């Protein structure tokens, strides 16, 4: 809790200001209920804003089974990732007895309320429902989004899908390309990276901020400091069936200035492989290196791969594994140096 307050102190709102805005959590200010607890509306004037603004406030009710971890996760995610189609976090209040999230107020309300507006004709209602109709796969993705997506048309949803967002409780970054194929990035901390030697287990997941690097491909994620051999289990859950994919390792070098090629040796489900990293070839414009590890064709929406990476001399900072749709088979060869 102390670390949360220090990191996001610019978002903290005093409880007294929230009580004033909600008339001391009056039932007359309640506009909804959810898994987190009651949602209130109120006109808030606090120390970090000029004038008053209408806001929506979620008040944690622990009887619903949620608590500190869900509260902290939502503060971190909504403060780091903003989009015009996602309701923004205005601030929060936390203390011994109260945990409250404050959002901008969506004046038009939810879709179901909008459709029951008596001024709408049935033709208008049907048109809006038609525009919002999604395929089953889109519906599954939207339901898994963290934080929830806010959109009012299929076109708005497609923009969000192209830009990408977190799913699977923040373990995965998902986007959709122009062909409608899913691109899935699995955060390295979600792959349960485990060194084959037990001496370094507590020290190898690091914060990108410690290295002054923006983790643009895995927002909010951590790095795995890869020098010693380790294993990782990678599970894709939202892949497009019956297309070709390449599983890519996304990383940066721990120390800048590596210009020579070097081999990346690993095993995929027990089979030894080697890929030669050429810095001039595999460095992308955003500063990330992409090393293709495995090429396969999906039969379903899921993939479950076990990687074992060998010890190396050039230290890498690994952000995660990306499942990228691929039309061409990548050059990955079996490693036959050992018998």
Question: C-alpha distances in angstroms, 250 versus 215, 226, 297, 330?
Answer: 11, 12, 20, 16
| Domain spans, the chain | 2-104, 111-163, 172-334
DSSP state of 151: -
pLDDT, tens digit, 9 for 90 and up, residues 58-95: 998 877 666 777 788 778 777 655 555 467 788 898 87
What gap in Å lies between CA 248 and CA 26, rounded to an integer? 52
What gap in Å lies between CA 259 and CA 254, rounded to an integer? 13
Torsion region of 65: left, alpha or beta (phi above 0 gives left; psi -120 to 50 gives alpha) = left
58 annotated as a binding-site residue: yes
Binning the chain into helix, strand and coil, the percentages to the nearest 5 are 25, 35, 40
> Within the chain, what is the greatest distance between any pair of CA atoms?
77
pLDDT, tens digit, 9 for 90 and up, residues 162-204: 999 998 888 899 999 988 899 999 999 999 998 887 655 556 8
Could you give the percent of the chain with pLDDT greater than 70? 76
**CATH architecture for the domain at 172-334:** Sandwich (2.60)
CATH number of 2-104: 3.30.200.20
Residue 50 pLDDT more than 90? Answer: no
pTM beyond cutoff 0.75: no
């Amino acid at each position: 809790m102390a670390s949360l307050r220090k990191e996001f102190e610019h978002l903290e709102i005093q409880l007294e200001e929230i009580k004033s805005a909600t008339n001391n959590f009056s039932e007359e200010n309640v506009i909804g209920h959810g898994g987190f607890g009651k949602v209130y509306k109120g006109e808030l004037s606090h120390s970090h804003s000029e004038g008053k603004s209408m806001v929506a406030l979620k008040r944690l009710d622990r009887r619903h089974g949620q608590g500190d971890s869900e509260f902290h996760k939502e503060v971190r995610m909504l403060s780091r990732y903003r989009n015009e189609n996602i309701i923004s976090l205005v601030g929060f209040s936390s203390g011994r007895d109260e945990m409250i999230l404050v959002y901008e107020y969506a004046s038009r309300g939810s879709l179901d309320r909008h459709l029951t507006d008596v001024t709408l004709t049935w033709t208008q209602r049907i048109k809006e429902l038609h525009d919002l109709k999604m395929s089953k796969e889109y519906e599954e993705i939207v339901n898994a989004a963290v934080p929830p997506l806010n959109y009012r048309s299929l076109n708005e949803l497609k923009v969000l899908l192209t830009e990408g967002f977190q799913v699977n409780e923040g373990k995965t970054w998902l986007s959709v390309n122009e062909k409608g194929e899913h691109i899935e990035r699995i955060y390295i901390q979600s792959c349960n990276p485990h060194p084959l030697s037990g001496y370094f287990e507590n020290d190898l997941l690091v914060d990108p901020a410690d290295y002054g690097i923006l983790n643009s491909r895995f927002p909010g994620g951590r790095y795995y400091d890869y020098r010693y051999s380790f294993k990782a289990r990678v599970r894709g859950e939202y892949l497009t069936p019956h297309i070709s994919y390449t599983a890519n390792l996304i990383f940066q070098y721990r120390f800048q200035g590596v210009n020579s090629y070097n081999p990346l040796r690993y095993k995929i489900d027990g089979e030894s492989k080697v890929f030669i990293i050429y810095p001039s070839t595999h460095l992308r414009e955003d500063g990330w290196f992409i090393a293709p590890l495995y090429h396969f064709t999906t039969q379903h929406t899921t993939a479950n791969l076990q990687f074992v990476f060998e010890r190396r001399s050039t230290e890498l900072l690994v952000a995660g594994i990306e499942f990228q749709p691929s039309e061409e088979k990548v050059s990955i060869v079996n490693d036959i140096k050992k018998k």
